[in-house]
Amino acid sequence: MKEIDYFFPKTLEEALQILNENKGSMRVIAGGTDLVVRLKQGQVKEDRLLDISRIDALKGIEDRGEKIYIGATTTHTEILEHPLIKTSVPILHDAIKSIASLQIRNIATIGGNVANASPAGDSIPALFVLNGFVFTKSIEEERKIPIEEFFLGPSKTSLKENEILVGIEITKMQDDEVGFFRKVGQRKGTAISVVNGAVRLKKDSKPNRFSKAFVSLGAVAPTVVRAKIVENALESEEIDSLDKIMYISGLVFREVSPISDVRGSLEYRRDVSINIIYEGLADLFLNGFRRS
């Protein structure tokens, strides 16, 4: 591994100043679970690291009425242990619970999961369906970016070289909303997703009908995607049988453009993405679309 200069700012202002002065040659590090692997593989061009893990302003979870704000360096374990997450955004809870092992979750952060911009990042489909926004800061400006506009490609985001991702905002689920997160990895436990997906449905006054549907899938395209054709079908059809759910899940076929890699072939990924949506919807249907 090459020689690295390490910076440990205590405040966000100090961090933004240092990052601005070292634009282009400095990389942010939070939990380091992803970055250290890349450093060891020689995949990081920068030779300066800005460790943001000791900055209090970047940590913690805030109840903001209909919204929840999560500071970028809040760890996955801290998110799982917060009572608001399990009750108000169970989709995100299930997504984070599926990430890696307890040891990794104790140090890895949600900001790192998002900024890493892996198409297989497990928090991302959940943030998509929960109307997520990313907050960034530099010494010049603050930005609030819809999560769907944040990702430009694998490992590519709209973050500028002097910006830090400071937090994420999501919308709480209402009592008339149901949903799920599902993931298929290569093995149980700490596996990176072969495909993952999340769904949120807002119930209509008529049974088995939904006034709003949000569907997202990961690892089936260069970035996590919304499955709009499936969403439209869920909003226009009565979801009254497993056959109907099978038909709607099959529409996923038209929305994904996966690649083949070591974790799965194109065809396998396409089939798994259909199955993920089918099984999740079928569980909800068989449970009477009740919030469990």
Ligand X SMILES: Cc1cc2nc3c(=O)[nH]c(=O)nc-3n(C[C@H](O)[C@H](O)[C@H](O)COP(=O)(O)OP(=O)(O)OC[C@H]3O[C@@H](n4cnc5c(N)ncnc54)[C@H](O)[C@@H]3O)c2cc1C
Residue 165 or residue 199: which is nearer to ligand X going by CB? 165
Could you give the CA distance from residue 184 to residue 234 in angstroms, rounded to a whole number?
A: 23
Distance CA 194, CA 122 (A): 11
**Within 10 A of 86 (CB to CB), how many other CB atoms are there?**
15
The nearer residue to ligand X, 52 or 147, going by C-beta atoms, is: 52
State in angstroms the smallest separation of the CB of 48 from ligand X.
11
- Residue number of the CB closest to ligand X reads 112
Summarize as ranges the residues that interact with ligand X (CB under 6 A): 27-35, 37, 52, 72, 99-100, 104, 108-109, 111-113, 115-116, 121-122, 159, 164-165, 190, 192
- In the complex, what is the shortest distance from the CB of residue 195 to ligand X, in angstroms, rounded to a whole number? 12
Q: How far is CA 46 from CA 18, 105, 157, in A?
A: 14, 25, 17
Which are the contacts of 177, defined by CB distance < 8 A and separation ≥ 6? 200, 201, 202, 203, 291
Residues ≥6 apart with Cβ < 8 Å to 288: none
Which lies closer to ligand X via its Cβ, residue 49 or residue 233?
49
Q: Radius of gyration (Cα) for the chain, nearest Å?
A: 19
The residue (of 113 and 171) whose beta carbon lies closer to ligand X is: 113
In the chain, DSSP finds a helix count (H) and a strand count (E) of 12, 14
Q: Which is nearer to ligand X, 113 or 249 (CB)?
A: 113
